[in-house]
Chain A
Amino acid sequence: MKEDKPITVRHMHAGQSGKVVEILGGTHLFNRLNSLGIRPGKRITKVSSMFLRGPVTVRVDRSQVAIGHGMAGKIVVDVEEKKP
C-alpha cells in the first residue's frame, strides 16, 4: 500500500515518517518552524498527538518539537511507506 497523497502532520499516525513538502500559512509561521529545523525537504517522524485537538509531537533530526494542533494542520508531509 502506498500513500501518494501528501497529508498534514495532523493526519499522520504516530510512528509514521515523511518529508515536509510545504508549510501553509504566513512567513511568520514558516520562520518559526524553520528555526526549529522543520522546513521543506526535512524528514520528520510523528511521535504522538494528544487527544481533543491537543499538540502534536514530532521528531526532527535529534530533537523533538511539540506543535499546536492548528499549526500541525499547516505542515504538509509526503508520507513514507511503512517498513514491514
Chain B
Amino acid sequence: MRRILLMGNPNVGKSAFFSRLTGTKVIASNYPGTTVGFTKGSLMLGEEQVEVIDVPGTYTLEPTSKAEEVASRLLQTGDVVINVLDATNMERNLYLTLELLERDIPVIVALNIWDETKHRGIEINTARLEELLGVPVVPTVALTGEGMKELANRIPEAASPEMTERTRDERWAAVGSIINEVQTLSHRHHTWLERLQDASLKPLTGLPIAVMVLAVSFVIIRSIGEGLIGYVMEPLFDRLWTPVMMELSELLGSEGFWHDVLIGNLFDGAVDYSQSMGVLTTGLFIPLGAVLPYILAFYLVLGVLEDVGYLPRLAVLLDNLMHRIGLHGYAIIPTMLGLGCCVPAIMATRILESRRERLITATLISIAIPCAASQAMIIGLVGEQGVQYLAMVYGTLFMVWLVLGFVLNRTVRGFSPEILIEIPPYRIPHWRAMLQKLWMRVYGFLREALPIILLAILVVSILISLGVFDKIAEVTAPVVSGIFGLPEAAVVAIVVGLLRKDIAIGLLAPLALSADQLVVGSVVLTMFFPCIAAFVVLARELGFRGLLMAIGVMIAATIVVGGLLNVVLL
C-alpha cells in the first residue's frame, strides 16, 4: 500500500487536516505539539487505497527534538508528502518545504488556514508559488473542508523537482526571495483579538486575566455540572429508572444474592442511588447521573480554552512558578488536562522536552490532580457539608502539588530546560470542530470508564456479601484508623480506588463520616494509587523504574498528608 505523509510545522492544522482527509477522528488543539506520536488512517484515491500518516509537527528535518526525530525517520518510509503550511505564517513554514523538496520524494503543498489570510491582510499568489516551488500548491481550510477535494485530486501531480542540497543560510535566503515574490502584506489595524493577545501576555494585565479566566471556567463548569445533575439527570433517574428498579426488586423477591448485586440495599424500602451499591442502581447512577454532567462541562470549557489558544499563554505566565517545582510553564497543559482525566494528561507529557520534566509532571498529575470524575463526586459529597470543606480538599491538594514538586525538583537528577515555544494567535473556535472534539472525549469516557465502573460495583457487592472486606479491614485498621482517622470500613473505598476513584469516593457516602473525615477521605483517595487506567499509562510512559518511583512517592506522600490532616482536623 502506498503511504502518504502529512508533514508541516507544529500547529498548522495537520490533525484537523488528517481528520478531514481520512475521516478518522483525532483531537486537534490550538497549541504546538498536539500530535506527538503518529496517527495512521487511510484514504481512497480513485480505486486505490492509500495509507495516510499524521507526522508530528516539525520545524526542520535536522532532528533537534524528539518529534523531529520521529518525523525524519518516518520520511524514509513514505511515498508522497503532503506538506501542510500555515498560510498566515509562510516565511517560517517554507523552510521545511525547501528541505522536503531537496529530498527525493514527491511533494504537494497545502496552504492551510487560508480563511485567515484575508482578515490578516495577507495576499498570496499561489500560481506563482507553484511555479517557484515546482510542485502543486492548493489553498485549504481544514476546519471546513474547503479545498480538500482539489488537494486529493491533485495528489497524483505531486512532484520532486531537481534540487541540490543547500546550506541553512542559502535556504533562508531562498525563502526570503520566494516570499518577496508571492506575498503582499497590507497594513491593517490591530484587531481586538490581537490587542487581547498582547494583554494576556503582559504581567500586569495577564495575571488578572488568568485569574479571571480560571475563576470563570470554574464557575461555568460547576453551574453546568450541577445544573445538569439537578435538573436533568436526577429527575430522569427518579421518574424513569426508579419505577423499573422497584419492579425488578419485587420480582427478585426483595432480597437474596441477585438482589444484592443488581439492586443493592433498599433504604426505607426505596432505592438510594448514592448508597444502594447495586450494579443497576449506584453502578449506573455514578457514571451517568453524577459524573457525566461534569465530564461534559469540563471538556466543553477546556475545549474552548484550547481552541481559542489560551493555554500557551497561561504556560508563559506561570513559567516562573513552575520553574520552582522543576518544570517549565508548558507543563501546565498536561496538568490542566489532568483535571479531566489522568490518561490523556500523562500521554500529553510527551510535549515536554526532557525525561526529567515528564517524570515530575506525570508523578505530580497522578498524585495531586483529581480527575473530573473524582471531582464530580468530591463536589457532590464534600460540597454538601459546606464550601469551606471543599476549599480544604482543593487547598490541600494544591499544597501537595507545590511541595511535592519542590521536593522532586531537588531530588530528581538532571535539569529542566528553559521554555522556548511559539505562541499561536487567538482564534475564534469553530463550533463544529469543538462539538466533535467534545463528543469524542465524552464518548471516550463512556466507552472506557463505564465497563470498569460496573465491574467495580459488581466486585464490591460480591466481596461485601462474602464478607471478604471484614478481613482486609482488620489487617489494615492500624493505617486506616490509626493514621488517617477513618473508620475501618473505609478500606473498601481505598481498595476500590485501585479500579475507579469516582466509585471509591462514592463508597464513602454510606459510612456516615463527619465533614472533616470526608475531607481526609477525599484527599487520601485522590492521592493514593492511580486508578487502573492511569496505572497502565504511567507504566507505559515512565518505564518500570519511573513507575516504581512514582508509586513510592505516592504511598509516602499519602501517608504523610493523610496523617497530618488527621492530626490537624480530627
9 smallest CB-CB distances across A and B, nearest first, come from A68-B418, A35-B59, A48-B202, A54-B320, A64-B423, A37-B92, A66-B316, A68-B419, A48-B201
> CB of B115 within 8 A of chain A?
no
Q: How far is the CA of A63 from the CA of B426 in the complex (A)?
A: 11
B389 interfacial by beta-carbon distance below 8 Å: no
- In the complex, whether A52 has a CB less than 8 A from a CB of chain B is yes
- CB distance A48 to B203 under 8 Å? yes
Closest B-chain residue to A64, C-beta based? B423
Residue contact B418 to A70, C-beta cutoff 8 Å: yes
* A55 interface neighbour in B59, B88, B168, B419, Cβ under 8 Å: B419
Q: A35-B60, A35-B95, A64-B422 are in contact. List 11 more A-B contacts (CB 8 A).
A: A31-B62, A35-B64, A48-B202, A50-B320, A54-B316, A62-B122, A63-B92, A63-B424, A63-B425, A68-B319, A70-B418
Cβ contact within 8 Å between A53 and B420: no
What residues on B are CB-neighbors of A32 within 8 Å? 64, 420
- Min CB distance, A44 to chain B, in Å? 13
Over the window 62-89 of chain B, the binary record of Cβ atoms lying under 8 Å from chain A Cβ atoms (1 yes, 0 no) is: 1010000000000000000000000011
B residues near A83, Cβ cutoff 8 Å = none
- Which residues from 420 to 447 on chain B have a C-beta closer than 8 Å to any C-beta of chain A? 420-425
From B64, B202, B419, name the one whose CB has the most chain A CB atoms within 10 angstroms: B419
B329 within 8 A of A: yes
- Given known contacts A32-B420, A48-B203, A62 and B120 CB-to-CB distance under 8 angstroms: yes
How many Å lie between the Cα of A54 and that of B421 in the bound state? 14
Classify chain B's interface size: 35 or more
Asked whether B150 is an interface residue with its Cβ less than 8 Å from the other chain, the reply is no
B557 within 8 A of A: no
Indicate if the CB atoms of A36 and B320 lie closer than 8 Å. no
CB-CB under 8 A from A31, the residues of chain B are 60, 62, 64
Q: How far is the CA of A74 from the CA of B518 in the complex (A)?
A: 52
Q: Are A51 and B203 in contact (CB under 8 A)?
A: yes
Q: State in angstroms the CA–CA spacing of A84 and B424 once bound together.
A: 30
Q: In the bound complex, do residue A67 and residue B88 qualify as a contact, i.e. CB atoms below 8 Å apart?
A: no
Q: Is the CB of A36 within 8 A of B64?
A: no
**In the complex, which residues of chain A have a beta carbon less than 8 angstroms from the beta carbon of B88?**
62
Q: For residue A70, give the distance in angstroms from its CB to the closest CB of chain B.
A: 5
Assuming the A-B contacts A34-B168, A48-B203, A57-B201, are A66 and B423 also in contact, with contact meaning beta carbons closer than 8 angstroms in the complex? yes
Asked whether A28 is an interface residue with its Cβ less than 8 Å from the other chain, the reply is yes
Known: A34-B168, A48-B203. A69 touches B89 (CB 8 A): no
How far, in Å, is B239 (CB) from chain A's closest CB? Answer: 53
In B307-338, the 8 Å CB interface with A consists of 312, 315-317, 319-320, 328-329
Q: Does A65 contact B (CB under 8 A)?
A: yes
**A39 interface hit (Cβ, 8 Å):** yes
Expressed in whole angstroms, the Cα–Cα distance for A53 and B203 within the complex equals: 12
A21 within 8 A of B: no
Shortest beta-carbon distance, A74 to chain B, in Å? 10
Complex CA distance for A61 and B91, rounded to whole angstroms? 8
Shortest C-beta distance, B183 to chain A (Å), equals 11
Chain B residues 263-299 with CB under 8 Å of chain A are: none
Residues on A with C-beta less than 8 A from B406 are none
Contact partners of A7 in chain B: CB under 8 A:
none
Interface residues of A in 19-36 (CB under 8 A from B): 28, 31-36
Shortest distance between the CB of B180 and any CB in chain A (Å): 13
CB distance from A73 to the nearest CB of B (A): 10
CA of A20 to CA of B424, assembled, Å: 22
The answer on a CB contact under 8 Å between A50 and B319 is yes
* Pairwise interchain contact A36-B172, C-beta atoms closer than 8 A: no
**What is the bound-complex CA distance between A35 and B93, given in angstroms?**
9
Q: In the bound complex, what is the Cα–Cα distance between A82 and B64 (angstroms)? A: 36
19 contacts between A and B (CB under 8 A): A32-B420, A33-B420, A34-B60, A34-B168, A37-B91, A47-B201, A48-B198, A54-B320, A63-B92, A63-B422, A63-B424, A65-B422, A66-B201, A66-B316, A66-B329, A66-B421, A66-B422, A67-B420, A69-B418
Q: Are A14 and B64 in contact (CB under 8 A)?
A: no
